[in-house]
Amino acid sequence: MTNPLLAVERLSVTFNHRHTVVDEVSFVIYPGETFALVGESGSGKSITALSVLRLLPNNARLSADNISLNGDNLLSRSESDLCRIRGSRIGLVFQDPMSSLNPVMTIGSQIEEVINVHFQLPKQAVKQRVLELLRQVEIPEPQLRMKDYPHQLSGGQRQRVMIAIALAGRPDLLIADEPTTSLDVTIQAQILALLKTIQQQTGMALWLISHDLALVSTMADRVAVMQQGKIVETGKTADFFSNPQHPYTRKLLQALPSMDSCLAHAVEEKPPLLCVRDFSCHYPIRKGIFKRIVGYVRAVDGVSFDIQQGKTLALVGESGCGKTTLGKSLLNLIPASGGQVKINGVDLSQLSGEPLRQQRANIQIVFQDPFSSMNPRMLVGDIIAEGLSALHPGIGLDERKARVRQLLQQVDLPEDSAQRYPHEFSGGQRQRICIARALAVEPKLIVCDEPTSALDVSVQAQIIQLLKTLQQEKGVSYLFITHDLAVVAEIADDVAVMYQGKIIEQGRVEQVLTRPEQAYTKKLLAAVPVLKSDN
């Protein structure tokens, strides 16, 4: 066996002398390999990476027996030595390419800056190196692009620039901290392919930090699973996924939504609940002093679909395709521009004022971000009871309290939650409260706008299970908006694929996921990282 590139022994990080975030973690990374550190949010994986580079916040305490890079003990190095090591021997790519680039500098000068820190090169050579790097990360027309500012690039291109900056110092080890989490699935696939290519070209080691087990299974040579600050299991990728040892790992793998699960659905026709015909939602573009309308952004452009009673329609698409706009304008939260929305035969687009308010009980919404979807100054009980008091003012206080208790029970939350504030709950619990709030007015349809994308895998599985159970008990229909095709397979009966404001393909879930007709759907499906359990 070769000597390890990075060796970490019994690394611990404590915040404020109380909270141990990383607890005696030991691992090694060999030259040229891809090592993946997997864990749910808050498990301490990012802190582990930052503590190797000693980039921790001031209130953190670090202790370790050994952190060495190529046998060179990093613990004994001074801060100024570490400055040289960061960037030149260890490169770092962060999750959010929006906030990692300086918006007032061109991308070329940002890469130059890094080169100038680490190498003494003449000006022309620096330019050459920048072009070389941009070519390496496959940015088209690098001569023109290097004069661009970050806002002129797309999210994927920005992440490529971040990788170019990390590569500028020719590091032996590249740390990629959730490099694709904020990107669309097709872009994610491109970035991952790029990282692999570069790794093969340069022979550097890649330390991938991720919460996504499927992604890890396609990328990594070795995997370590982190839970509450401890590494609970380490192993070769193939062994790890075929034969997980630790119960936590098994739980994680089970929670993973699988593309095969759609085959288990029973086919049974039900009468349609919601009929949407030629529905569109256009934003006017105004220009000039008189705010003349010069054109429209066609966010939703002539969409038609049906949702059957007690069934789930999944609306799939990449960011910016108009799926959230569609969901919100179905509830009249965003004014629609044309078309028809009929629920139980009542045309919502013809209603306004009080009759519309009365119909609101029929459609409810659960939002993506469980942190901003509840008023932080209201008690959970009042949040859940809000719809009851607005739409059924006749219900007395005692009955309302009883309803809230019953709803809390239905979403598996303790009864005393009603007397607490939203910030006292975790993300998954908050999403349960939001579901209870939507259920309170006994809707026939709930629009779920990416309800699980902000949650960890195991919590996501619980929420999906809860949604399914509620559907069986109450016969409620869902419009499930998501970008995650694996979740679609878990929950949906029908699928509609949306692209640039239009639905380009719809049908039964097993049909769309296994025998897609449109090229875009095929591309989407191909980009989904699938757990490789049998190789």
Q: Which long-range contacts (CB under 8 A, 24 or more apart) does 247-253 make?
A: 249/225, 251/458, 252/38, 252/40, 252/213, 252/225, 252/457, 252/458, 253/213, 253/531
- Minimum separation from the CB atom of position 321 to another protein (A): 20
Rounded to an integer, what distance in angstroms lies between the CA atom of residue 105 and that of residue 161?
13
Rounded to an integer, what distance in angstroms lies between the CA atom of residue 533 and that of residue 525?
18
Compare residues 196 and 420 and give the one whose CB is closer to another protein. Answer: 420
Contact between 93 and another protein by CB under 8 A: the answer reads no
Binders of another protein in range 48-87 (CB under 8 A)? none
Compare residues 363 and 459 and give the one whose CB is closer to another protein. Answer: 363
Contact between 357 and another protein by CB under 8 A: the answer reads yes
Tell me whether strands 66-69 and 72-73 are parallel, antiparallel or unpaired.
Answer: antiparallel
Smallest CA-to-CA distance from 280 within 329, 345, 208 is with 329
The encoded tokens of residue 202 equal: 């340069």
- Minimum separation from the CB atom of position 178 to another protein (A): 24
Q: 3-class SS at 317? A: coil
Compare residues 383 and 497 and give the one whose CB is closer to another protein. Answer: 383
Provide the residue type at 41 as one letter.
S
- Minimum separation from the CB atom of position 440 to another protein (A): 8
- Minimum separation from the CB atom of position 322 to another protein (A): 17
- Minimum separation from the CB atom of position 377 to another protein (A): 4
- Minimum separation from the CB atom of position 370 to another protein (A): 9
Contact between 346 and another protein by CB under 8 A: the answer reads no
Contact between 391 and another protein by CB under 8 A: the answer reads yes
Compare residues 83 and 378 and give the one whose CB is closer to another protein. Answer: 378
Rounded to an integer, what distance in angstroms lies between the CA atom of residue 40 and that of residue 58?
24
Binding mask 272-311 for another protein (x = CB under 8 A): ----------------------------------------
Binders of another protein in range 413-442 (CB under 8 A)? 419, 421-423, 434, 437-438, 441
Burial of 461 (0-12, 13-18, 19+ CB in 10 A): buried
Binders of another protein in range 370-389 (CB under 8 A)? 372-379, 383, 386-387
Binding mask 489-508 for another protein (x = CB under 8 A): --------------------
Compare residues 333 and 346 and give the one whose CB is closer to another protein. Answer: 333
Residue whose structure tokens are 């095969």: 260
Contact between 333 and another protein by CB under 8 A: the answer reads yes
CA atoms within a 13 Å half-sphere pointing along the CA-CB vector of 142: 19
Contact between 364 and another protein by CB under 8 A: the answer reads yes
Contact between 358 and another protein by CB under 8 A: the answer reads yes
Among the residue ranges 47-55, 150-158, 313-321, 325-333, the one whose residues contact another protein (CB under 8 A): 325-333
Smallest CA-to-CA distance from 53 within 24, 22, 27, 77 is with 77
Please list the alpha-helical segments (H only) found in 6-102: 45-52, 79-88, 97-100
Candidate residues 361, 504, 530, 531; the one interacting with another protein per rule CB under 8 A:
361
| Neighbour tally for 282: CB within 10 Å | 18
Q: Which residues, listed in sequence order, are joined to residue 25 by a DSSP beta bridge?
A: 11
The encoded tokens of residue 101 equal: 């680039």
Q: Are 222 and 35 in contact (CB under 8 A)?
A: yes
Compare residues 374 and 408 and give the one whose CB is closer to another protein. Answer: 374
Q: Which helix (H) or strand (E) holds 338?
A: strand 338-343
- Minimum separation from the CB atom of position 253 to another protein (A): 32
- Minimum separation from the CB atom of position 435 to another protein (A): 11
Smallest CA-to-CA distance from 63 within 4, 9, 7, 6 is with 9
For 190-222, b/e burial (b = at least 16 CB within 10 A) is: bbbebbeebbeeeebbbbbbbbbbbbbbebbbb
Total residues contacting another protein (rule CB under 8 A)? 33
Contact between 390 and another protein by CB under 8 A: the answer reads yes
- Minimum separation from the CB atom of position 215 to another protein (A): 28
Candidate residues 369, 453, 474, 520; the one interacting with another protein per rule CB under 8 A:
369
- Minimum separation from the CB atom of position 431 to another protein (A): 12
CA atoms within a 13 Å half-sphere pointing along the CA-CB vector of 338: 9
Burial of 355 (0-12, 13-18, 19+ CB in 10 A): exposed
Rounded to an integer, what distance in angstroms lies between the CA atom of residue 347 and that of residue 341?
6
Contact between 110 and another protein by CB under 8 A: the answer reads no
Provide the residue type at 450 as one letter.
E
The encoded tokens of residue 159 equal: 């992440």
- Minimum separation from the CB atom of position 447 to another protein (A): 9
- Minimum separation from the CB atom of position 360 to another protein (A): 4
Candidate residues 168, 216, 336, 363; the one interacting with another protein per rule CB under 8 A:
363
Binding site for another protein (CB under 8 A): 328, 331, 333, 357-358, 360-361, 363-365, 367, 369, 372-379, 383, 386-387, 390-391, 419, 421-423, 434, 437-438, 441
